[in-house]
């Protein structure tokens, strides 16, 4: 449904929905307006088991480990605010983590006397083992929680979450994997990762309506998990607690089985993932060469999903010290929508690759930035 007046290279932020998905949600919304009591109450009670079970199969987990929420922020809030932390506990997080999630860590630390310990992971990153070593070296006897992104937002690097979960949990450290970008981008087998909690968004790379996300919890810990919003279901088990968090738009959750089937039948999930990964890896190499910048992850794409982050050429960084004006300039003067990120004191540009993108999109970006760089 994207307008054809813009070269859209930012699927990663909020996703984008196929017309069929939008129309499906619109039909569900009409049902809600025709008979709200039936659609929000009775229908959802009846449908939730099958919604949860179709998503569990897609994610490689068990239905009774899975809960639905509206977005990754809500998932992280539910988990972190369910923890009982004590003064001196350390919450460990790499500096590639998403800003809003970092703020939630700060909030719970402030309320409990725990501390947030940020581990600097310098770029370029050469391989997974380097990431494991850096994060492992930052663990101490006081580390209670490791929060690790599966695919990072500012740097678009795929972290070795299975290896990190194994190392941390062997030391008694809880592991929360923020997989906001992972479903639909990576071939996900959540249970095989072995995290205490795995969370993800569905409105990014699964292309559901906005407002669909999930938490998968280790069965041993599920009794202590509560949603960020406490409602009727309190103390009736996680399924009751998460299924009803008050009046809200349930059509994104209700659309999940439709989207999973529809994309499978139109393109196939494996094909879509393969296409997007190949396109992102190709764009990564092409842009590094065009702008003569060093890559921050291997050029073979081994640490990429379907996004790639590049350093902006030095001369552009000199003239645009802030991200806002450069983003707006690309959008307003060149009709290119692409995120410019500030991270580790530098400016970066991140491209996404989704089925609607074409090689010309990235070549246009390459040319525009090369000319701007002078």
Ligand X SMILES: Cc1ncc(COP(=O)(O)O)c(C=O)c1O
3-state DSSP call for residue 265?
Answer: helix
Nearest residue (CB) to ligand X, 193 versus 316? 193
Q: Which residues pair with 352 in a beta bridge?
A: 307
The nearest distance, CB 14 to ligand X, in angstroms, is: 8
Helix (H) or strand (E) holding 241: helix 238-243
SS3 (DSSP) at 116: strand
**Rule CB under 6 A: is residue 98 a binding residue for ligand X?**
yes
CA atoms within 13 A on the CB side of 74: 17
DSSP letter for each residue of 272-331: HHHHHHHHHHHHHHHHHHHHT---SS-TT-TT-SSEEEEEPPHHHHHH--SHHHHHHHHH
3-state secondary structure of 94: strand
Residue 81 token pair: 């605010």
Q: Of the two residues 171 and 248, which places its CB atom closer to ligand X in the complex?
A: 248
Query: Strand pairing partners for 146?
Result: 92, 175
Under rule CB under 6 A, residue 281 binds ligand X? no
Smallest gap, in angstroms, from Cβ of residue 373 to ligand X? Answer: 27
Query: Scanning residues 105 to 124, which ones bind ligand X (CB under 6 A)?
Result: none
Which of 43, 64, 69 lies closest to 53, judged by CA?
64
**Does the footprint of ligand X cover residue 135 (CB under 6 A)?**
no
Instruction: Based on the shown chain and the rule CB under 6 A, indicate whether residue 51 belongs to the binding site for ligand X.
Output: no
When the beta carbons of 13 and 86 are compared against ligand X, the nearer one is 13
* Residue 147 C-beta: closest distance to ligand X, Å: 10
Which residue from 47, 100, 132, 239 is in contact with ligand X, where contact means CB under 6 A?
Answer: 100
| Nearest residue to 205 (alpha-carbon basis) of 124, 307, 113 | 307
Does 153 sit near ligand X (CB under 6 A)?
yes
Count of residues interacting with ligand X (CB under 6 A):
13
Strands 340-343 and 346-352: antiparallel
Contacts of 134 (CB under 8 A, 6+ apart): 94, 119, 121
Query: Between 159 and 291, whose beta carbon lies closer to ligand X?
Result: 159
Interaction of residue 101 with ligand X, rule CB under 6 A: yes
Judged by CB, which is closer to ligand X: 178, or 313? Answer: 178
Measured from the CB atom, the residue of 179 and 194 that comes closer to ligand X is 179
Contact track, ligand X, 67-96, x by CB under 6 A: ----xxx-----------------------
Cβ-based nearer residue to ligand X, 225 or 372: 225
Between 51 and 147, CB nearer to ligand X: 147
**Residues 160-199, mask of contacts with ligand X (x by CB under 6 A):** ------------------x-xx------------------
Query: Binding of ligand X at residue 125 (CB under 6 A)?
Result: no
Nearer to ligand X, 21 or 290 (CB): 21
Q: Is 209 in the site for ligand X (CB under 6 A)?
A: no
Q: What is the DSSP string of 141-203?
A: TTEEEEEEESB-TTT-PBP-HHHHHHHHHHTT-EEEEEETT-BTTB---HHHH--SEEEEEST
Encode burial over 268-303: b for 16+ CB neighbours within 10 A, e otherwise.
Answer: ebeebbebbbebbbebbebbbebbebebbbeeebeb
Contact residues for ligand X (CB under 6 A)?
A: 13, 71-73, 98, 100-101, 149, 153, 178, 180-181, 201
């Amino acid at each position: 449904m994207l307008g054809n007046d813009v070269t859209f290279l930012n699927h990663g932020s909020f996703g984008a929905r196929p017309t069929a998905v939008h129309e499906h949600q619109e039909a569900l919304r009409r049902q809600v307006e025709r008979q709200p009591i039936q659609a929000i109450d009775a229908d959802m009670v009846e449908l939730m088991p099958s919604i949860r079970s179709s998503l569990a199969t897609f994610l490689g987990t068990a239905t009774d480990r899975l809960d639905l929420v509206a977005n990754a922020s809500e998932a992280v809030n539910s988990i972190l605010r369910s923890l009982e932390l004590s003064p001196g506990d350390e919450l460990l997080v790499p500096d590639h983590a998403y800003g809003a999630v970092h703020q939630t860590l700060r909030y719970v630390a402030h309320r409990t006397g725990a501390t947030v310990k940020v581990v600097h992971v310098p770029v370029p990153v050469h391989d997974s083992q380097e990431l494991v070593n850096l994060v492992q070296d930052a663990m101490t006897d006081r580390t209670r929680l490791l929060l690790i992104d599966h695919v990072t937002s500012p740097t678009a690097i795929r972290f070795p979450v299975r290896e990190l979960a194994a190392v941390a949990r062997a030391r008694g450290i809880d592991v929360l994997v923020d997989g906001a970008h992972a479903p639909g981008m990576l071939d996900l087998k959540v249970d095989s990762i072995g995290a205490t909690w795995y969370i993800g968004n569905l409105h990014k790379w699964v292309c559901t309506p906005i407002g669909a996300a999930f938490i998968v919890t280790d069965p041993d810990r599920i009794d202590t998990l509560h949603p960020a919003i406490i409602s009727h279901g309190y103390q009736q088990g996680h399924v009751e607690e998460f299924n009803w968090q008050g009046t809200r738009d349930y059509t994104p959750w209700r659309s999940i089985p439709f989207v999973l089937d529809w994309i499978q039948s139109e393109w196939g999930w494996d094909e879509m993932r393969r296409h997007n990964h190949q396109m992102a890896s190709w764009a990564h190499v092409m842009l590094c060469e065009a702008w003569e910048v060093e890559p921050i992850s291997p050029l073979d794409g081994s640490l990429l999903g379907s996004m790639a982050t590049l350093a902006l050429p030095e001369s552009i960084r000199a003239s645009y010290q802030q991200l806002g004006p450069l983003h707006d300039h690309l959008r307003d003067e060149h009709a290119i929508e692409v995120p410019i990120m500030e991270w580790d004191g530098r400016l970066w540009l991140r491209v996404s690759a989704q089925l609607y993108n074409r090689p010309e999109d990235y070549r246009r970006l390459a040319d525009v930035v090369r000319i701007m760089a002078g």
